[in-house]
Amino acid sequence: MVRAGEADRLDRFLSERLDMSRTRVQGLIEDGHVEVDGRAARKSERVEAGDRVTVAIPPPAPVDIPAEDLPLSVVFEDDHLLVVDKSAGMVVHPAPGHRTGTLVNALLFHVRDLSGVGGRLRPGIVHRLDRETSGLLVVAKSDRAHNGLADALRARRIKRLYSAACWGHLAESPLTVDAPIGRDPGDRKRMAVVEDGRRAITRVRVREHWLRAELLDVALQTGRTHQIRVHMAHVGHPVVGDRVYGVGWERGMGGPDRAWARELARRTPRQFLHAAELAFDHPITGQPLRFHAPLPPDLEAAAAWARDASHTGGQP
């Protein structure tokens, strides 16, 4: 039983006092596990001083996702969370066609009692990376940590910096791209800059200038699906190796630099996008945490060639 204090939305009131995400609290309300003064509650109602709020928290439903002993690069771990360096090619959570071999499968093997944290199908997952994007992810090991990290993400207090190679040369650096993102009306499997999309902000700075491409530092202020890839394609500089939003872009280049661009494309085995830095305050202790993951070997090899060939007029 929880006794209400001053008037507040029920879902917010319970989220703060039970150290649960509002999404999970709303699920408890919708499933009939919350009562206000002996009657079934509604998630949008407000509770006031003197209201008696009763919550019956059911045990975590069994997760039908198998735990698998998969390679997992753990950068940091304590009792509340862990930070992993995800390899390219690994899907974050199970989905149709990817029931096994995902990061969640590996986490369920590595972390005891993770199955009830943050929901059954995405246990512990606070944010995600595309399958072909490598780099840093933070994972919660308790509902309290999950709730704190989710709140920090919504409040933009988790700093995420990516390394990305993009075609062409930016007209200005630093550059801020502020353009709404939603489903592509012509292809629902893709995202696009659309007028009625959700606001998305990406900040870009050139780190290395190559012959017909650049290595960029890219900071996310929001976290929309495919945000970096969509925004860079939108401004005419798609991510190198992006087979959805930048496919074949290098073939349109003319002049003597075309061969350089085609060789870089050949040497880039996937989209050149890596979550390189992650910084946030620990959701339980408040300790500032900052992590860095260097480019993995496949992308570093492509970048090394691009640097050398840029200095030798397109010849390695």
Which amino acid type is present at position 164?
Answer: A
Which amino acid type is present at position 157?
Answer: R
Positive or negative: CA dihedral 212, 217, 221, 225: positive
Furthest-apart CA atoms within the chain: distance in Å? 78
Question: What does residue 210 show for φ and ψ, rounded to 5 degrees?
Answer: -110, 180
CA distances for 93 relative to 46, 122, 130, angstroms: 35, 6, 10
CB under 8 A, 24+ apart: contacts of 111-117: 111/82, 111/139, 111/141, 114/141, 115/60, 115/62, 115/63, 116/59, 116/60, 116/143, 117/141, 117/142, 117/143, 117/146
Q: Does the annotation mark 130 as catalytic?
A: yes
Which amino acid type is present at position 195?
Answer: E
Comparing C-alpha atoms, which of 232, 241, 204 is closest to residue 220? 204
Q: List the beta strands (DSSP E) in 119-242.
A: 134-140, 159-167, 175-178, 181-184, 187-193, 201-209, 213-220
Which of 51, 85, 130, 298 is an active site residue?
A: 130
The angle, 0 to 180 degrees and rounded to 10, between the axes of the packed helices 258-267 and 297-311 is: 160
Residue where the block lists tokens 């943050």: 118
Which residues are tagged catalytic? 130
